[in-house]
Structure 1
Amino acid sequence: MATSSGPGRVLAYLESAKNLTGSACGLAGLALTFTGLAGAYWPVVVAGLYGAGALIAPPARPAVPDFPDGSERLEALRTDFATLRAYLGEVDLPPAAAGRLVELTEVLDGLLAPGWVSEVLATDPEGVHALSRAVHQDIPESVDTYLRTRWWTRITPGSEPPERHLERQLELLHREAEALAGGLREAESRRQETHTRYLEDRGGL
């Protein structure tokens, strides 16, 4: 491993800005030598100019990681949302909870549908994160916890009905989704108002 990395490091340095800048300064030192200005100390002059050039050159900078942008994350999230809906279609829920779940998934479906809404959402990292959390964590956890708790309730009756917690959880998630949609709507409204003010200012009205 060491033998393979050694030549690679040497090659990387030869191609680096430090070596190229130092070499250019070293060539300037050789030019001084040929003109007789460096005198008998020309090796020191050349080496010194090379070192100075290597020092002033900007350090090597690693490439910035290429992470998926908002559009790519939403595209992957649409696939995961379809998987989630298939799972929810196999779950037997009480009528009230099932109704709240339908309301929630309708809002999420509207936010994720390809079009200008999702294009606006893609520019909001916090919104994409909140949507991803709902699809990947909150909804599956709420439903699965209900199913597991319901089984225990059947063999140990007398505890609080688990569907109450599920209904409350789905209600809170629905509010979060509506708040996200409302924030996008307000952003578009502000954009419209800004354009109106721009036109008014441009026309001197």
Structure 2
Amino acid sequence: MATSSPRERILAYAGSTKNITGCALALAGVILVFFGVAGSFWPVVVAGLYGVGALLAPADRVRLTISHAEVESRQLHADLETLLAKVDGNRFPGDVVARVGALAEVLRDILRRADALTSSPDHLHIVSQTIRDYLPSSLEAYANLPRSYALTRRGERERSAHEELLAQLDLLDTQLRKVAESVYQGDEQALRDQGRFLQDRFGGSGLDL
């Protein structure tokens, strides 16, 4: 069974409720020292107040369950990074690498909103298929062509393989940005609701969201 390192345990305790409460009471002890309350026993007072705070503060809640949304988004993110590791300048032209990088940023941002994404099966399907099927299929078909062939047009009206790939990447980018916009609407609505609350609460705040 994997165990955390001493450094990880120290960092975890530093941000814990017990440490924060202890530090707050210790700071109160330091303030008492400045007012001459603690006298020569100030180190004991400060340390004691820290100990009382750390002892009485409730332990941080342990969260062991992982939602389905988190599991799915983590796996999709891992699959995306695995794919991106194969997209480099040796296999693809610079403009293709740049387009794929831009697509990846949109996908990463969508995946950060796991709950909103997985609450919409249609959106989840588009993101999942883009990462696991649409994007790798387009890139794989292009990578299997000789570079000189991929850049050459076969006829006046026919796109080269390079142009065809860029067009497919543009289609994916357009669709993913629609998904992203839909996902962001929840955050936007929350912001508007907060604006209405502040206007009702404080009145004349000048917020017009």
The TM-score by the shorter chain falls in which range?
A: 0.5 to 0.7
Aligned to 2:84: 85
Q: Which has the larger radius of gyration?
A: 1
1:124 pairs with 2:120: yes
Q: Which has the higher contact order (CA 8 A, sep 6+)?
A: 1
1:142 pairs with 2:138: yes
TM-score (norm 1): 0.53
Q: How many residues align?
A: 133
For residues 141 and 132 of structure 2, what CA distance do their matches in structure 1 show?
Answer: 14
1:151 pairs with 2:146: yes
Aligned to 1:161: 160
Runs of 4+ more than 3 Å apart: 151-155, 194-205
Identity %: 23
Structure 1 or 2: more helix by fraction:
1
Q: Give the CA RMSD over aligned residues.
A: 3.2
Alignment of 1:28-177 (within 5 A): 69-89=68-88, 92-113=91-112, 117-148=113-144, 150-151=145-146, 154=149, 159=154, 160-177=159-176
Aligned to 1:54: none
* TM-superposed deviation, 1:169: 0.6
For residues 80 and 87 of structure 1, what CA distance do their matches in structure 2 show?
Answer: 11
The answer on whether the counterparts of 2:110 and 2:183 sit within 8 Å (CA) in structure 1 is no
Task: Say if 1:127 and 1:89 are closer, same or farther in 2 by CA, change over 3 A.
Answer: same
TM-score (norm 2): 0.52
**What are structure 1's unaligned runs of at least 5 residues?**
1-67
The answer on whether the counterparts of 2:88 and 2:97 sit within 8 Å (CA) in structure 1 is no
Task: Say if 1:91 and 1:73 are closer, same or farther in 2 by CA, change over 3 A.
Answer: farther
